[in-house]
Structure 1
């Protein structure tokens, strides 16, 4: 099967891919403007094979020699023959990906409607929630999304100031968790406080309440609030939340926020199973 070729870094579509990869507000603006996010690597592409939101695939002659990549491309084409597939010149992959020896496979994913505005909110958000308060590191955000999905916490609210949930690095760190989650981002603190009906539990180092002494509180729906790497949870959120600390060796100042989230979420799972 013959696919369209892209051989120059000046190709308009290739330039668009590079923009979608950009970090910060530049990349977020490009993703919201185009309505697409870039999936990098075989695992992410495989996650969306069979989903009509995966509208375009990119590979190379070398990539199609990889049985795993070829299987993903042709399986998706069989289900959605209208999918556009482009073969990039192998030399372009080093410009497209910062991964060493990156597999020659990527995809353009049509964003869900809920992702196309960063001010989306709803009147009421019931049940378990994870609130991300100005967490800026894309790796941490993606790791928390992956942990939340594994723990069964499917509602995520990313407050204004967080890394964009659909950025390439967050998607990569999330390892496909996005497909399992309901994602809301760009909310103000007040929007979150107004919409979330479950009691807020804020993970914070100096709280008197020990995580492992919580029992009854975790049996009902909760909203875990994880604060920014440098500043922790916002004061106005803390004022409405129960502060909860994870007991650690006093010689260690704090835990990485994604590690703290994993401990809190899976302690919730453990209590409920008990």
Structure 2
């Protein structure tokens, strides 16, 4: 285990750039996993990180120490920073004090849509994106396609909101959703408050692709026009619409209900 105490250290500077710049994360094809839960899930489901980073105050915590020792035993480089320096890398206030640096997974783009999937058009909020990924993984949906304007799926904020869901998904970014929809072998469903069909009245027992859009503007008109069907989520209260992450969860688990009923 190596201790670094200078802010001028090149490794620290590189880590700080990864922690604060989405452009740097994309360019390096690496990201940061912040916290014990994400690091533990990564070890259990994916494998070893590129680098293990810990705040010196956190070494007294048994759950942190156990992960650090596991990394050291596998010859993963482990770095210890004084707490003020560590806090410059973490976006979690009062966090546990453990970070992994990992390579961003690269999945092979399928030729066409043939299995249940989620299509995200210009979704902006990292929390919403992470929540949708978490719900999709829980519902057994493995494929996520993000348009160019959608938030970076592997940012620390999205990863925290996803709670480890990323590692059981195939996530594709900068996707031409129009082309994907036009060549889809399965129905593409978009939610709309003005749709004639409720999700509860549509057959979801097979594979479908769910299309969701920007938090305020919704799905682009050309994509809506290309969708196989628009469906609505009925509600009783005096609200115009649901949050996009809540809408997605309702849709996914109505599909789960129908699949398990059959």
TM-score by length of 1: 0.89
- Does 2:42 match 1:42? no
Partner of 1:181: 169
Cα 1:185–1:53 change in 2 (3 A) is farther
Matching of residues 28-67 of structure 1 within 5 Å: 29-49=23-43, 51-67=46-62
Cα 1:157–1:62 change in 2 (3 A) is same
Matching of residues 1-274 of structure 1 within 5 Å: 3-22=1-20, 26-27=21-22, 29-49=23-43, 51-78=46-73, 80-81=74-75, 83-114=76-107, 121-214=109-202, 217-241=203-227, 242-249=229-236, 251-274=238-261
Q: Distance in 1 between matches of 2:182 and 2:68?
A: 44
1:124 Cα deviation from its structure 2 partner: 1.9
Check conservation: 1:53, 1:110, Cα contact below 8 A.
no
Return 5+ residue gaps in structure 1 as ranges.
Answer: 115-119
Q: Distance in 2 between matches of 1:21 and 1:230?
A: 28
Moved more, 259-268 or 197-206: 197-206
1:195 Cα deviation from its structure 2 partner: 4.7
1:122 Cα deviation from its structure 2 partner: 3.6
1:175 Cα deviation from its structure 2 partner: 0.5
Moved more, 5-14 or 177-186: 5-14
**Superposed CA offset, 1:95-153 (max 9, x none):** 22232211110010112233xxxxx7442231101111111100000000000000000
1:194 Cα deviation from its structure 2 partner: 4.1
TM-score by length of 2: 0.93
- SS of 1:37's equivalent in the other structure is strand
- SS of 1:39's equivalent in the other structure is strand
1:62 Cα deviation from its structure 2 partner: 1.7
Aligned length: 259
Q: Distance in 1 between matches of 2:7 and 2:192?
A: 47
**Superposed CA offset, 1:222-242 (max 9, x none):** 001111101111112211221
Check conservation: 2:112, 2:180, Cα contact below 8 A.
no
Q: Post-superposition, which runs of at least 4 consecutive aligned residues in structure 1 deviate over 3 A?
A: 50-53
Check conservation: 1:121, 1:187, Cα contact below 8 A.
no
- SS of 1:179's equivalent in the other structure is helix
Return 5+ residue gaps in structure 2 as ranges.
Answer: none
1:218 Cα deviation from its structure 2 partner: 0.5
Q: Distance in 1 between matches of 2:29 and 2:122?
A: 23
